[in-house]
Amino acid sequence: MILYHGSNIEISQIDIDKGRKGKDFGKGFYLSEDIKQAEKMASLTTFRQGKGVPVVSKFMFDESILNGKSDIKIKQFGGYTIEWAEFILLNRNNNTNIQAHDYDIVIGPIADDTVGLQLRRFIQGYINISQLVNELS
């Protein structure tokens, strides 16, 4: 399986330590099956950092890992659920350098600007968690 990473520089080797805390699935290296999503992220990263050029790096991923044929701990979300929302909030609110979970790989939807708006509405108490998930689905 080919996965893509969008950035403002070419990435030839994954370095988890360069990930930032407070992200949706925690500190890590984010990949997508969708090249368009990676292209958008590359443009956004370049714009936010004000340097470099949008670059999409390509990585080969051994799908057999997802079938439980390894010791890698995997968490997979099939879509927007209460469990997913709680996991995102747990990670976004984690300001420490210690990961909030012990998974090696997390698979699921990433919160874009629309999702971020709904998460803020939930945090501010305008909607409850069930409404949050309903509005995202």
Per residue in 18-28, pLDDT (tens digit) is 888 888 888 88
57 and 77 in a single domain? The answer is: no
13 and 60 in a single domain? The answer is: yes
Give the pLDDT band of residue 137 (cuts 50, 70, 90).
Answer: confident
User: CB atoms < 10 A from the CB of 80, how many?
Assistant: 20
Residue 27 carries which DSSP code?
A: S
Single pTM value for the model: 0.79
Contacts of 54 (CB under 8 A, 6+ apart): 6, 8, 39, 42, 43, 45, 46
77 and 102 in a single domain? The answer is: yes
60 and 76 in a single domain? The answer is: no
60 and 96 in a single domain? The answer is: no
The letter for the amino acid at 84 is W
| Domain residue limits at 15 | 1-64
1 and 52 in a single domain? The answer is: yes
